[in-house]
Amino acid sequence: MTSITSCPICGNNLLRPFLQCIDYTVSHEKFSLHKCSTCNFTLTSPRPTDEVIGSYYLSDDYISHSSKATSIIDHLYLLARKFTLRWKINLLAKNSEGSRKRILDYGSGTGAFLQYCTSQGWAASGVEPSENARSFCQKINQLSVYQSINEIEEDKFNAITLWHVLEHIPDLDCILQQLKSKLSSTGTLFIAVPNHTSWDGRHYKEYWAGYDVPRHLWHFSRENMDKLLNKNGLTVTKVIPMKLDAYYISLLSEKYKRKKSTIFGMIVAFINGTRSNWQAARTGEYSSLIYIVKR
């Protein structure tokens, strides 16, 4: 395990204990969350080293890397993903500039989004560190996906997407600078992350599925996302909610809290997902947010 001793956003070295969460997906180990005493940025520490973190993704329950549905919740996830693929493409069309339609999907998983982009006329490239997910993408979806951004020959993209990826990346400044260098002068960066200051995040606390320890290294709010991006010479131009995430995350959170999926738990999750979105309609604090970012 490795410990984080200072905040990656403001540099403060006073990190106070916040919550203890269990890895419900793979190891069932307990991990600690700490919060910066200055800017309130929240992080997982101590955490697995880079050499072993990959083992915490090796489960069919980690659906974004397997595309196998082994439960009702997994089936709901895959059903929702079919709907959101078209929604994401429309989002790109409305918020991207230029006529080249070249996109880089960073953290492309098993390639469902890449494949859909290609079918809609985008020249799509992907980066996926997971060997299992990358192999699935290449064999099943017949797409070229790179292990590292350094392997990509294409110089500039007018759209770069990170769908629930930034929270997994150890060196935030490094990757943001690399992605910034790959953006065209009018390019757009789309960053989707969970928002632990949402109603469901505050309600479920240590059971909140959005924490997903230890795979999620960082836990963002709107305020500290702004600070992180500004620090790297990037500007948020718009914030868009992912309303379906409140239901999916509440479903998982109820499962974790009750130690199994139940019909009653699913009903409660639907009520809580609705309540979270209702609260967020006034506050803007949705369960997951997409940051539309420019240089």
* Alpha helix stretches (DSSP H) within 98-216: 112-119, 131-140, 172-182, 199-204
Amino acid at 272: N
Residue in 126, 220, 206, 204 with CA at minimum distance from that of residue 164: 220
DSSP letter assigned to residue 28: -
- Mean of the per-residue pLDDT values for the chain? 90
121: left (phi over 0), alpha (psi -120 to 50) or beta: left
> Do 172 and 166 form a contact (C-beta atoms < 8 A)?
yes
pLDDT tens readout for residues 111-127 = 889 988 988 889 889 99
E-state strands within 37-146: 42-44, 102-106, 123-127, 145-146
**66 pLDDT band (50/70/90 cuts)?**
very low
Max mean pLDDT among 55-59, 184-188, 284-288 falls in 284-288
Please give the model's pTM, rounded to 2 decimal places.
Answer: 0.91
Residues 160, 25: Cα–Cα separation, whole Å: 29
Mapped onto helix, strand or coil, the DSSP state of residue 161 is strand
In the chain, pLDDT over 70 holds for what percent of residues? 91
Retrieve residue 141's tokens.
């979806």
pLDDT tens readout for residues 222-252 = 999 999 999 999 999 999 999 999 999 999 9
Asked if pLDDT for residue 69 goes beyond 60, the answer is: no
pLDDT tens readout for residues 18-58 = 999 999 999 999 999 999 999 999 999 999 999 999 899 88
Amino acid at 131: E
Retrieve residue 159's tokens.
């759209």
Q: Residue 133's pLDDT is what? A: 81
Q: Residue 199's pLDDT is what? A: 98
CA separation, residue 39 to residues 34, 220, 228 (Å): 12, 11, 11
- Phi, psi torsion values for 159, nearest 5 degrees: -150, 130
Mapped onto helix, strand or coil, the DSSP state of residue 45 is coil
Q: Is the link from the previous residue into 17 a cis peptide, with omega within 30 of 0? A: no
Residue in 286, 189, 284 with CA at minimum distance from that of residue 243: 286
123-127 and 145-146 strand pairing = parallel
Max mean pLDDT among 81-85, 142-146, 247-251 falls in 247-251
In the chain, pLDDT over 90 holds for what percent of residues? 71
Q: What is the CB neighbour count within 10 angstroms for residue 85?
A: 17
Domains, the chain, in order of start with CATH, read 15-47+61-243+285-294 (3.40.50.150)
Asked if pLDDT for residue 71 goes beyond 70, the answer is: no
Q: Residue 130's pLDDT is what? A: 82
218-219 and 183-194 strand pairing = unpaired
Q: Residue 62's pLDDT is what? A: 52
Mapped onto helix, strand or coil, the DSSP state of residue 67 is coil
Asked if pLDDT for residue 168 goes beyond 70, the answer is: yes
DSSP letter assigned to residue 69: -
Residue in 110, 98, 147, 141 with CA at minimum distance from that of residue 127: 147
Amino acid at 67: S
